[in-house]
Amino acid sequence: MSQRTDQRRSEILQAAATCFIRRGFHQTSMKEVCAEAKLSPGLVYHYFESKEQIIQAIAQQAHRATGSLMAELETLPTLRLALARLAERLTHWLAQNGEARLYIEASVEASRNPSVRATFRAADDAFVTSFRLLLDAATHRGELPRDLDTELLAALIGICLDGIILNTAIQETLPLSSDVLQQLLERFVGLS
């Protein structure tokens, strides 16, 4: 794939994301995407096989930030610091307009679209595993009680974060400040 091709593809994806944030996957027509990208239908279909393929690509992007975030958290010396950083980064991500909406849109799509679901399951598993590692390390350092079910706790936190994302997507305002979120997380794992 040439550099030019990649560039065009990402332009189309960007335009599609804008439209999808505005109206959702299935209310957005290809005509809208074409108009937003200032490209003809023929050209858009030259770079993507179908609308479905564009949706898949967008759904994959919804998890972009997670991997590097978890890697960063693992380098921090204490769980408290890691949770603070998580709160900060999540708040920042939520403040980016539309990211939350796109994530929720993709989640809902995952419930019906097998290939999107596969993407989501993999990303979710990776998050829970990483988070569990974080908790296990903290337990090892004596920051948490030894009898904690870290697997369950990690899963619960994932669920709770999804709730925050959902709320952000629906309300126009951020429901939580970074500080409150940090306190919530600390409370959740039983740190304070």
- Give the nearer residue to a second copy in terms of CB position, either 47 or 124: 124
Lookup result for tokens 């989640």: 107
Cβ 2 to a second copy shortest distance, Å: 35
Site string for DNA, 49-68 (x = CB under 7 A): xxxx----------------
Pick from 22, 46, 64, 92: which binds DNA (CB under 7 A)? 46
Structure tokens at 136: 């296990």
Please say whether the beta carbons of 184 and 177 come within 8 A. Answer: no
Lookup result for tokens 């991500």: 93
Pick from 42, 77, 114, 142: which binds DNA (CB under 7 A)? 42
CA–CA separation, 50 and 126 (whole Å):
28
Please say whether the beta carbons of 93 and 99 come within 8 A. Answer: yes
Site string for a second copy, 17-36 (x = CB under 8 A): ------xx-xx---------
Binding site residues, DNA, CB under 7 A? 2, 4-5, 8, 28-32, 38-43, 45-46, 49-52
